[in-house]
Amino acid sequence: MASRTLSRVTKALLAPALALGATIGLASAPASAAVWNSCDQWGNTSLNGYTLYNNIWGSGAGSQCIWANSGTNWGVWANHPNTGGIKSYPNSKKVINKSIDSLRSLSSNYNVSVPSSGAYNSSYDVWDTDYDYEIMLWVNYNGAVGPIGTSQGSVTLGGHTWNVYKGSNGSNEVFSFLRTSDSNSGTVNILPILKWIKDTKRWMGNETIGDVQFGYEVTSSSGGLNFTTNNLTVSSS
C-alpha cells in the first residue's frame, strides 16, 4: 500500500512533463466521439479547468483506456487481472491552492455509473500542497478492497455518514472516509471534513489544499469493465 500513494504523487507531479498519447478508435468510448482519449500509461490532458489522468501505476496491471467529452464527463475502460493490489487510479483533478482556514466553501457533485463486478472504489483524493496528508473519500466500493490504517469510528459530515480510518503509507498520513452505504450520485461538502480533521481531531494543521481528485482505484476488472463519470464538478471559494 505504501507504493500506491507515493507513486501516484510522483506521477501527478511529473505528468504535465510527459508526452500526451491519444489513441484513435478507442473501443470503449461512447457512441458520440470523445474529444480526447488515450490508452497511454500516463496519458493526461486538461479540459475545462480539470486535468485528466489515465494513471496506470500498479504492478501487474493490464490494459486501460480513458476518454473524455469534457473535463466533467469522462470514463475509463479497464481490463486488469483478478489479482491483489491497486493497478490504477484514473482521475480528474481540480487545483484549489487555498488553506483550510481561508476556504469559505469546498464541495463537489458526482454522478457515476460503475460495474457490479470487479474490485474497485470510486473515491475523492484530497491532497495538501506538500503531499504530507492524503484524505480519501470513498463514495462506493466493490470487491476485495480496503483502506490504509485502523478504524477511528464513524462520523456524519459533509452530507454523508462515513467509517473513518487513520494510517500511514510510510510517506504521508492517510485519512480514509468510507461511506457507510454505496452511492453513485450526490453532493459532498468537503470543507467540514477537512475542518473536522484539523480542528476536532487535530490530525493536521492549517494545510494548504492543493488538489481535489476524483476517480476509480481499480484492483481488478478482468475481461474489461467500464467506469463512467457522467458528471463531476468541484467548486470552491
Per the prediction, the chain carries an average pLDDT of 90
DSSP classification of residue 104: S
CATH 2.60.120.180 fits 2-236, yes or no: yes
114, 227 in Cβ contact below 8 A?
yes
Mean pLDDT of all residues in 127-132? 97
Give 76-121 pLDDT, tens digit per residue.
999 999 999 999 999 999 999 999 999 999 999 999 999 999 999 9
Predicted confidence (pLDDT) at residue 206 exceeds the cutoff of 60: yes
Mean pLDDT of all residues in 121-132? 98
Q: CA neighbours within 13 Å on the CB side: how many for 10?
A: 10
C-alpha cell at 145: 478492497
Give 15-27 pLDDT, tens digit per residue.
333 333 333 334 4
The predicted model scores a pTM of 0.88
Bridge partners (DSSP) of residue 195 are none
pLDDT, position 71: 96
C-alpha cell at 8: 501516484
Q: CA neighbours within 13 Å on the CB side: how many for 134?
A: 28
- Sorted by where each begins, the domain ranges of the chain are 2-236
